[in-house]
C-alpha cells in the first residue's frame, strides 16, 4: 500500500510551499509528495520543489482541469470565484492508496505522514478544532432546522486545509452528484468567503463517509493548530500548547496573511529559510499606523459612510 502527501501550489505561493516542504523534510526525507498545480503558473515552484525535495507534479493535468471545470459549472460560478478551488478533489484519484492533503500555509512539527495510521480504523481523518466555532463558514442554521444533519453530526465539521483519506473512497460520479445536490440547496451553505470548497467537502464528509475521525479527539486530546491562537509557546523550532502540555503537530495560518508581524512570524520565517541552497525570503515589514493615524482613518470612514448613507 502506498502512502503520500498532496499539496496545491503555484508560483504565487512559492515561499509558502518552500516553508511547508522544509518542515516536512526536516522530519521525513522519504514520503512521496505530489503537487497539484493551482493554475498554469506553477512551473518555477514545481522545478524548485522537485530539485530540492523530490516533489512530483500530478501526472494527469487534463483530468484535474476537466474535473475542476465541471464542478465549477455545477454552480454556474454563483458561489465560487474560480474553478481552481476544486482542484484538491483530484486527491481521490491520484497514485496514493492513502493520502494526506496539506495546505501550503502550514508548517509541520513531526513526521506528519504517521497520522495516516488512524486510517486503520477510519476512512477519513482531520485534525482541528473547527467544530468549536459552530457551523459558521460551512453551513447555515437551515441544515439543523430541516434536520439535514443532527447537532451531533455537525460536530464533525473540519477545516479543509488538512485531512486524509483513501483513494477512490469517493468516485468521480460521487463528486458530481454531491456538487449537484449542494447546488440545488444553496440555503444550506455559508458561502460568504467564496474562497474554498470547504462547505462542499464538509457536506460530502457527513453525507457519504461514515467512518471518520478527528485526531483532536484521541485519548489524551491533541494540541490546537491555528495561528490565530495567542497562547502557544515557542520552544526552539516547535510550538507547545500549554493547555494540554503537548507540542503542536502543525501550525496553520488559515485566514491570516503570512508577513512580518503576523502571529508566529518567526516560526514561519525559520522554516522558510531552513534550506541554505535557496535564497532567504525577503518580505517588507508591515507599516503600522500610529494611534493618531488610526483615529484619523476611522474619522474619515465615518464621514464617508455617513455621506453615502444619506444619499
CATH code, 185: 3.90.550.10
| 200 in a structural domain | yes
Say what the pLDDT of residue 269 is.
97
User: Does position 118 have pLDDT exceeding 90, yes or no?
Assistant: yes
- pLDDT confidence band for 81 (50 / 70 / 90): low
Say what the pLDDT of residue 204 is.
93
| 152 in a structural domain | yes
| 277 in a structural domain | no
Per residue in 44-75, pLDDT tens? 999 999 999 999 999 999 999 998 888 888 87
User: Does position 296 have pLDDT exceeding 60, yes or no?
Assistant: no
- pLDDT confidence band for 193 (50 / 70 / 90): low
User: Does position 169 have pLDDT exceeding 60, yes or no?
Assistant: yes
User: Does position 82 have pLDDT exceeding 80, yes or no?
Assistant: no
| 255 in a structural domain | yes
| 244 in a structural domain | yes
Beta strands of the chain (E only): which ranges?
A: 3-9, 33-37, 56-57, 98-102, 106-108, 124-126, 162-166, 212-214, 233-235, 238-241, 246-247, 250-252
CA atoms in the 13 A half-sphere facing the CB of 161? 21
Number of domains in the chain: 1
Per residue in 198-209, pLDDT tens? 888 899 999 999
Say what the pLDDT of residue 307 is.
37
| 163 in a structural domain | yes
**CB count in 10 Å sphere of residue 6:** 20
- pLDDT confidence band for 225 (50 / 70 / 90): very high
Name the nearest CA neighbour of 16 among 261, 262, 235, 253: 253
User: Does position 123 have pLDDT exceeding 60, yes or no?
Assistant: yes
In the predicted model, what is the mean pLDDT of the chain?
89
Phi, psi of 288 (to 5 degrees): -95, 140
Domain extent at residue 53: 3-272
| 289 in a structural domain | no
| 295 in a structural domain | no
User: Does position 143 have pLDDT exceeding 50, yes or no?
Assistant: yes
Say what the pLDDT of residue 36 is.
97
pTM assigned to the model:
0.89
- pLDDT confidence band for 197 (50 / 70 / 90): confident
> What's the CA gap between 277 and 295, in Å, rounded?
45
- pLDDT confidence band for 309 (50 / 70 / 90): very low
Per residue in 266-285, pLDDT tens? 999 999 999 999 999 988 77
Amino acid at each position: 500500500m502506498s502512502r503520500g502527501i498532496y499539496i496545491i501550489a503555484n508560483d504565487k505561493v512559492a515561499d509558502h510551499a518552500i516553508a511547508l516542504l522544509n518542515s516536512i523534510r526536516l522530519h521525513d526525507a522519504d514520503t512521496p509528495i505530489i503537487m497539484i498545480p493551482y493554475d498554469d503558473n506553477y512551473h518555477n515552484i514545481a522545478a524548485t520543489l522537485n530539485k530540492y525535495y523530490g516533489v512530483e507534479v500530478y501526472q494527469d493535468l487534463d483530468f484535474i482541469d476537466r474535473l475542476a471545470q465541471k464542478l465549477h459549472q455545477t454552480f454556474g460560478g454563483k458561489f465560487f470565484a474560480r474553478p481552481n478551488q476544486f482542484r484538491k478533489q483530484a486527491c481521490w484519484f491520484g497514485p496514493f492508496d492513502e493520502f494526506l492533503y496539506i495546505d501550503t500555509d502550514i508548517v509541520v512539527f513531526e513526521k506528519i505522514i504517521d497520522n495516516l495510521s488512524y486510517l486503520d480504523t477510519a476512512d477519513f481523518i482531520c485534525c482541528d478544532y473547527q467544530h468549536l466555532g459552530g457551523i459558521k463558514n460551512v453551513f447555515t442554521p437551515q441544515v439543523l432546522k430541516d434536520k439535514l444533519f443532527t447537532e451531533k453530526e455537525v460536530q464533525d465539521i473540519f477545516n479543509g486545509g488538512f485531512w486524509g483519506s483513501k483513494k477512490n473512497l469517493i468516485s468521480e460520479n460521487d463528486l458530481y452528484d454531491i456538487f449537484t445536490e449542494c447546488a440545488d440547496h444553496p440555503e444550506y451553505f455559508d458561502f460568504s468567503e467564496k474562497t474554498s470548497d470547504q462547505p462542499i467537502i464538509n457536506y460530502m464528509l457527513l453525507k457519504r463517509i461514515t467512518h471518520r475521525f478527528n485526531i483532536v479527539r484521541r485519548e489524551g486530546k491533541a494540541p490546537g493548530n491555528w495561528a490565530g491562537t495567542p497562547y502557544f509557546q515557542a520552544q526552539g523550532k516547535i510550538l507547545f500548547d500549554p493547555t494540554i502540555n503537548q507540542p503542536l503537530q502543525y501550525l496553520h495560518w488559515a485566514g491570516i496573511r503570512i508577513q512580518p508581524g503576523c502571529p508566529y512570524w518567526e516560526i514561519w520565517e525559520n522554516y522558510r529559510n531552513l534550506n541554505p541552497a535557496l535564497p532567504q525570503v525577503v518580505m517588507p515589514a508591515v507599516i503600522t499606523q500610529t494611534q493618531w493615524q488610526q483615529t484619523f482613518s476611522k474619522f474619515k470612514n465615518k464621514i464617508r459612510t455617513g455621506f453615502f448613507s444619506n444619499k
